[in-house]
Amino acid sequence: MPPQVVSYWSTFERTVAELYRLLGAEKVQENVNLAGTQIDVYVEERTKSGQTIRTAVECKYYQRRVPKDVVLSFVSVANFLKQTGKIDKAAVVGYQGFTQDAFLAAQAAQVDLISFADLEHRVIEASGERPERYFGAQARIFGPIAKIIERAQLETLPESFPDTVFVLMPFVDDLEDTYVYGIRGAAEKLGLKCSRADEIEHNHEIIKEVVDNIKRARFVVAELTNRNANVFYELGWAHALGREPILTARQGVELPFDVAHVNTIFYRNISDLETKLTARLRALLA
């Protein structure tokens, strides 16, 4: 069954949350701060034995199947949250599904991958309707889900994300600890949460989400160690929007002329980054 049409990333997240509510979840929250990590949807479900299962749900509004590297990026976050006792399970909901490699990687990491179509299918089954009635064109007009999407699209984004640090950085293995323990660790100490676009594809959908977050986040941090072209592209957007991101880079990195004059946080190691970024954020909050 194909998914119904959703026109915007924030609409998709709201719709996913509402579908979990329809499935009978005991508690569903959107944009939750767990150990400094922004989780799109947080779900608590009670089993027949009375146990509460806590699940972090990441929503991927891509116009193609979600690839392996994007899933692996979330796996590292999920593992951290499991280790700290914040969640029991993790899941990713993909608007257009997932690649086969992504399924294999998720299976090994014990992360559930759920296509939007499959989530809709579960809701239809839970409603008592016959799922086979809603294939093809009719799948796009199934009453309850269509109404959820319609309501979600009427909601606008808030003017600001007052407790969020939006991070511009490449998503490569050698910087994962920099993000998890350095940048996010600093945010967590101050009661803030971190978010980032987990794959930089400069198509309409992804850059729209990046711009929305740059506009509304309390702080923007740009990690420039790898001199990544996508990060500089987004940094240009930030400057055009009148934001002044906090720049970070490992000691010894030579920055381009256009940003070399900015008061950049140069750090020796991850602990040094956490300490210096915490101090900078605390000063700006004050």
243 and 120 inside one domain: no
Note the pLDDT tens digit of each residue in 220-255.
999 999 999 989 999 999 999 999 999 999 999 999
Residues 141 and 14 in one domain: yes
Which residues form the domain of 221?
161-285
Tens-digit pLDDT profile for residues 72-99: 888 988 998 999 999 999 999 999 999 9
Q: Are residues 103 and 184 in the same domain?
A: no
Among 133, 154, 175, the domain-final residue is 154
Domain assignment of residue 111, yes or no: yes
Does residue 103 sit in the same domain as residue 236?
Answer: no
CATH number of residue 177's parent domain: 3.40.50.450
Are residues 17 and 134 located together in one domain of the fold?
Answer: yes
Q: Look at residue 88 and tell me if it is in a domain.
A: yes
Query: Residue 91 falls within a domain, yes or no?
Result: yes
Q: Are residues 247 and 144 in the same domain?
A: no
Same domain, 176 and 236: yes
Task: Decide which of 131, 154, 177 is a domain's last residue.
Answer: 154
Q: pLDDT in tens for each of the 286 residues of the chain? A: 445 678 788 889 999 999 999 899 999 999 898 988 889 999 999 988 999 999 999 999 888 899 998 898 889 889 989 999 999 999 999 999 999 999 999 999 999 999 998 998 888 888 766 545 544 444 444 566 777 777 777 777 778 888 999 999 987 888 888 998 999 999 999 999 888 866 444 445 677 788 888 999 999 999 999 999 989 999 999 999 999 999 999 999 999 888 888 899 999 999 999 999 999 999 999 8
Regarding pTM above 0.75, the answer is yes
Specify whether 131 is located in the same domain as 228.
no
- With respect to residue 182, please indicate whether it lies within any of the assigned structural domains: yes
Domain boundary among 117, 132, 154: 154
User: Considering the domain boundaries, does residue 131 fall inside one?
Assistant: yes
Say whether both 56 and 14 belong to one domain. yes
Structural domain count of the chain: 2
Do the domain assignments include residue 4? no
Task: Evaluate whether residue 95 is within a structural domain.
Answer: yes
Do both 23 and 100 map to the same domain? yes
**Domain at 18, CATH number:** 3.40.1350.10
Decide if 1 is inside a domain.
no
DSSP string, the chain: -PPPP--SHHHHHHHHHHHHHHTT-SEEEEEEEETTEEEEEEEEEE-TTS-EEEEEEEEE--SSPBPHHHHHHHHHHHHHHHHTTS-SEEEEEETT-B-HHHHHHHHHHT-EEEEHHHHHHHHHHHTT--GGGG-GGGGGG-HHHHHHHHHHHHSPPPS-EEEEEEEE----GGGHHIIIIIIHHHHHHTT-EEE--SS---SHHHHHHHHHHHHHEEEEEEE-TT--HHHHHHHHHHHHTT--PEEEEETTPPPPHHHHTS--EEESSHHHHHHHHHHHHHHHH-
